[in-house]
Structure 1
Amino acid sequence: MMDLLAPIWLLLLLPLGALAVTYVVLQRRRRRYAVRFASLPMLEKVAPHQPGWRRHAPAAAFVLALSALALAAARPVIDVRVPHERATVIVALDVSRSMQATDVEPTRMDAAKQAAASFIENLPDTFNVGLVTFSGSTSVVAPPTKDHEAVAAALDGLPMANSTAIGEAVFTSLDQVASMSGGDESVDVPARIVLLSDGTNTSGRSPDEAAVAASEAGVPVSTIAYGTQEGTVEIQGRLVPVPVDVEALAALADGTGGVAYTAESGDELAEVYEDIGSSIGWRTEAREITPYLAAAGFLLGLGAGAMSLRWFARLP
């Protein structure tokens, strides 16, 4: 998408358009005059080799050059994707017993750990990444660090427990983000929480409270609702349904400016993490392209002069 900082300068295109129309009209008049007042056989003998398209090429290049310069005067800007130099990413992972469900092979937990490890290792080296786990309570398994391999390794052997404290996971993650500023509020480092869960909040503060806190801190929370609605786990010899609460997780993401995802398989989860990684690693920045258009105008003008000298031994 392109925008203009000084669109008033586009008025320069009006006289340029008039010049182009005048050129076309004069060329047609010249052709009619030549046909009317010259004998065609004699014309072929006097000028057997007509320049054809080359006659108009310098003029066309000249008009394009002026158009580029007029557009450059309007100071156009375009949105470009540039990489973040640094950021803090907290991966919050649900370790409640419902993650033992086998609706995702081999289990929700095993597939989630594998996808999270790949996500962490593929983040830019300049990013600090931390790992928070949650069930009925939360645990900071790895504080934010640039040692991504160490954080990925910490995913192995995570203990599992009952209940799901989604809201508390967000609050704990926000504390880890805040710790990176060292109490200096002037330190503005982009941050993102990526939270994966397969259940409903059953412990601690609510996701709504967490959404308010994350929004006030300016930290988007992207959520991944993981698993199928048919998932079950065996507890004391009986199967207990563990459906995914897609709506609650989507509301948490929407309330913080994050993105809500769903994944029902290990492959889908890998794609979700890949998409999140590409969005976290880049930002959109408006960049002025005036110098490029000015350079293009100069080169087109130079080309027009070169063609005219080469073919007609004169400047246009």
Structure 2
Amino acid sequence: MRTQRDVYAHLNNEVLHLANQGVTINEIHNVYSLPESLKQNWAAHSYHGSEEHNSRAVINRYLGYWDANPATLMPLSPADSAPLYVEMMGGAGKIIPKGKELYNKGEYFAAVEILNKLVYAEPENQKAKDLLADVYEQIGYQKESPSVRNSFLAAAYELRNGLPPGEAVSSASADTIRGMSTELWLDFLGISMDSSKVGGQEFVINLVTPDNKEKFIVELSNSVLTNIKGEQAEKADLTITVDRKDLEKVMGAAATFDSLIKEGKATFEGDHKAFDVLREAMVGFTPDFEMVPGASPKKGTSQAKAPL
């Protein structure tokens, strides 16, 4: 217990000590290290989390993600900046041999610095992706923290093979849906809505769930969907009445409002256009987007249903 106390106390105090001497969030992971006495204690090793990740997290907690250098305040996206770097380095023909040289020397992070830019600039360059994957693999093999190791090894796999096909993992079990509040689900609708599709649209919907005596105002304005619990608008464009137990079928994508209306389990009073606008703007999310360049989803990946 004393070891664990000292690990986290040292991490917090030493990182802030260094931050007060000007070490930034983009440098701290290369500067901070545990004292030798803790390094020699197996219980203090990075079996969960890592010093590199957690040292940055300490600065982020107290000072935020920005290092106060204006060059990093609004940086170009990697895909936009990478072509410039690649051009200035002389193109893939020079970068790949240098990357191999650094790899052979064991200077893996230096190799990542140039190869990652090449892969962003040329995401279809499989030779570059394979070399970067080799580098990531070696870094991963050397990391004690499982989460850090798996990050590098997963990136290596995706660079070589692309994202694996198959069904996306679903967390929308019946128990999960029952445990989700109606208010939380309405917040999720606000996240799922593509705001670019509702520009200039405005409406107010009353939602009533009689079986649990809940009521909500759902409002679209300024391209954002918000809700207020426990209230009803006097002049709503539409009032939707549905028991919470039936609404859960919509929440879990086991039914739609259209099917509930046909079954007599939901009623719409007012202008259906408000609901139609909302439904057309909904987007279904699947966790199959790439995290490393050039690993776009292969054919056959699943598409999630929109949440209405």
TM-score, normalised by the number of residues in structure 2: 0.22
Higher strand share: 1
| Higher RCO by CA contacts (8 Å cutoff, separation 6 or greater) | 1
TM-score, normalised by the number of residues in structure 1: 0.21
